[in-house]
Every structure is written in C-alpha cells, then in structure tokens.
C-alpha cells in the first residue's frame, strides 16, 4: 500500500510542479465500476493524495474509459487510473499490486489469476463461435476448449441421377448421408432418380439428408394415345367409338398384350410403325388399353 501511494505521488508529482496547481478538483477516472477492486483501492488512496497534493480529488467511475482515456487526459485535471503495467501508454498508470480487476478489455499482459475469479484462462466473455486466438499458451490446463469451433468436416455428394432409387440410396448411405425420397411426375422411367438435392459434387455435412426425386414413370392414358394417334381412322373399336375399316376390328382381335405392342411398334402391311412416334410407355399404354377393353 505504501508502495502504491509512493508510485502515485511520484507519477503525479511532475504534473503538480506547476504553481498554484491544482486550482480545481482533480478527477481520478476509474475505468471500473464503483465498489470494484480498483475503485476501492483508489478511494482508499484519494484522501492520502489530497493530503499530499492539496486540493480536492474526485473519483469518477467511467465504464469503458480505457478507450476514451485520451479525451479525459487532455484537460490536465483528469487522470485515468489503471491496472496496466508501467510502460504502457496510459499516463499516469499505476502498477496495481492488488488483485486484477474484472477488466472489460483484458490485456494479454495481465493474466494473473485472481482469488475472486475462476482460473479460466480464456478472456472471451461468451461461447464465441469463432476459433478465437486466445492469448493463453498452448499447454492450457483448462479442459474446456471444446472441439466445436473446428471447421465442420464436409463430404462431396456423389452423382446418383439416372440410377435406380435403390442403388442411389445405397451409394449415399455408404457415404454417410441420409436419404429422402420424393416421387415426381417425369418422363424418365419409373423408379429412376431424376433430380438430387444437394446436387452432384456439392459439399454437404456428413449425415445430412440428400433428397432424391424419383420418377413415377409417365402416367399415360391408353385411350388418349389411341385417339390422338389416329388408330380409330383404320380400326373399329367400340370402347373408343371408332369405326375405321382399313385394319382389322380390334374388338375381335385375340392378340396378347406383347403382340399388340409389337404390332404398334413395328407395324405391318398397311399399318405404320409407331416406334419413332410413340414412347415405350405410350405403346405399352395403348396396347393395354386395347387388350383390356375389347369386347371379343
Ligand atoms: C393407316 C391405318 C392404320 C392405323 C392408323 C393403325 N392401324 Fe393397326 N392395323 C392396320 C392394318 C392394315 C392392320 C393389319 C396389318 C396386317 O394385317 O399385317 C393393323 C393391325 C393392327 C393390330 C393387329 C390386329 C390383329 O389382331 O391382327 C392391332 C392390335 C392394331 N393394328 C392396333 C393399332 C393401334 C393401337 C393403332 C394406333 C396406335 C393402329 N393399329 C393404327 C392399319 C392401321
């Protein structure tokens, strides 16, 4: 305590060497809350300083004064006290021989463990998500630094478009992804993955979900194909109300479904081939329509 008083007196002495100084109350700015360690110390010494220096000393607790210290220091009447080490740019700094105050901006120079605070080395006020470059040396005794701020491991999503859903699912699961299935209208064959999200070679977290859009297969209406293709212009078929006579009456046809498909795909005689004009699904649909609706 005596040492601190001496330090204060010494560091303030040059300022007070002017005649008739101080002519106004001197303000000691304590950049910590009233009642804090530093505040208590300076309130203890204020009367002593008054006795030595004359005049009146007022203590002002100014939060965050560290940042704005210069403003206060320019008037020659206000002095910021601090717990900083001598040599720092903070006149008139006094070496704080007591416990370190709960500094709002902890300096890396004062990591002294205080009896009132837990010996957590990290000065960060919260669970900051950033991998903060803590000033603490590597061999930290704290068990706390969790691996959470480490960068998330990532995985490339394989390309599964065009595969069957089962194959795509197996491939994704082998890479650790979860799979979500969406059945969609598509011209692709039924059961085939037509869209994946995230897309091929995108980066995703392991264990995340990849949504696969799976084709329901084209839902083709055979009656519509029959009418729109013009089968009725050559064929009589009661279900369609057609009365064409170029080709055989389809109500009395006895061909199997595969045979009808072949007839439509390849044609024969006066009947054109429809392999180019109609899709496989459309050929299958119109064949099934004919076979199922013929009256015999
Ligand atoms: C231009 C006239 C024409 C059109 C259009 C046509 N066909 Fe034919 N179709 C024929 C003729 C002619 C035959 C007989 C061919 C033969 O004898 O080799 C035939 C045969 C068939 C047969 C075989 C019948 C049997 O039992 O022997 C089926 C089934 C058939 N057509 C279905 C269709 C369907 C379905 C369509 C529409 C996608 C269609 N046809 C369009 C003329 C046509």
Residue ranges per domain, the chain?
A: 2-80, 155-215, 222-293
Give the mutation target among 225, 229, 234, 257 for probing the ligand 1 site: most ligand atoms within 8 A of CB.
234
Give the mutation target among 229, 243, 248 for probing the ligand 1 site: most ligand atoms within 8 A of CB.
248
CB-based contacts of 243, cutoff 8 Å, min separation 6: 232, 236
Give the Cα separation of 37 and 35 in Å (integer): 7
Cβ neighbours of 192 (radius 10 Å): 19
Strands (E) across 114-240 are located at 155-156, 178-184, 193-197, 203-204, 209-215, 236-237
pLDDT of residue 151: 61
pLDDT of residue 97: 41
Q: State if residue 210 touches ligand 1 by the CB under 6 angstroms criterion.
A: no
Q: How far is the CA of 259 from the centre of ligand 1 (A)?
A: 11
Both tokens of 64, joined, read 């965050």
Measured over the CA atoms of residue 61, residue 66, residue 68 and residue 72, the dihedral's sign is positive
Q: Which CATH fold would you assign to the domain 155-215? A: Trypsin Inhibitor V; Chain A (3.30.10)
Give the Cα separation of 110 and 107 in Å (integer): 6
Q: State if residue 291 touches ligand 1 by the CB under 6 angstroms criterion.
A: no
pLDDT of residue 155: 87
Q: State if residue 286 touches ligand 1 by the CB under 6 angstroms criterion.
A: yes
pLDDT of residue 78: 65
pLDDT of residue 79: 64
Q: How far is the CA of 205 from the centre of ligand 1 (A)?
A: 57
CATH 3.40.50.300 applies to domain 2-80: no
Q: State if residue 284 touches ligand 1 by the CB under 6 angstroms criterion.
A: no
CATH class entry, domain 222-293: mainly alpha
Determine how β-strand 26-30 pairs with β-strand 78-80. parallel
pLDDT of residue 36: 72
Residues 248 and 237: beta-carbon distance below 8 Å: no
Residues 256 and 291: beta-carbon distance below 8 Å: yes
Q: How far is the CA of 223 from the centre of ligand 1 (A)?
A: 15
pLDDT of residue 156: 92
Average pLDDT across each block of 10 residues of the chain; the chain has 296 residues. List them in order: 48 49 68 71 71 72 53 58 53 43 48 46 46 49 51 85 96 96 86 95 93 86 95 98 97 97 97 95 94 92
């Amino acid at each position: 305590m005596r040492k601190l008083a001496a330090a204060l007196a010494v560091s303030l002495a040059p300022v007070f060497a002017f005649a008739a100084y101080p002519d106004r109350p001197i303000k000691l700015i304590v950049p910590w809350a009233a009642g804090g360690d530093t505040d208590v110390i300076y309130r203890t010494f204020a009367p002593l300083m008054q006795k030595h220096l004359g005049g009146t000393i007022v203590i002002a607790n100014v939060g965050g004064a560290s940042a704005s210290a210069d403003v206060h220091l320019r008037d020659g009447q206000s002095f910021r006290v601090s717990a900083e080490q001598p040599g720092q740019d903070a006149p008139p700094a006094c070496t704080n021989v007591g416990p370190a105050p709960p500094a709002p901006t902890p300096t890396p120079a004062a990591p002294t463990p205080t009896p009132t605070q837990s010996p957590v080395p990290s000065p960060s006020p919260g669970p900051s998500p950033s991998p903060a470059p803590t000033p603490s040396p590597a061999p930290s005794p704290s068990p706390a630094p969790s691996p959470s701020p480490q960068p998330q491991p990532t995985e490339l999503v394989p390309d599964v478009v065009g595969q069957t859903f089962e194959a795509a699912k197996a491939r994704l699961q082998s890479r650790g992804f979860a799979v979500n299935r969406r059945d969609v209208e598509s011209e692709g064959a039924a059961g085939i993955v037509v869209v994946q999200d995230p897309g091929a070679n995108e980066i995703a977290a392991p264990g995340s979900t990849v949504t696969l859009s799976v084709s329901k297969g084209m839902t083709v209406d055979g009656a519509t194909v029959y009418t729109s293709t013009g089968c009725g212009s050559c064929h009589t078929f009661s279900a369609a109300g057609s009365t064409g006579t170029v080709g055989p009456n389809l109500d009395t046809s006895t061909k199997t479904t595969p045979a009808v498909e072949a007839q439509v795909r390849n044609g024969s005689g006066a009947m054109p081939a429809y392999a180019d004009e109609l899709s496989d699904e459309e050929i299958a649909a119109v064949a099934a329509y004919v076979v199922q609706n013929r009256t015999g």
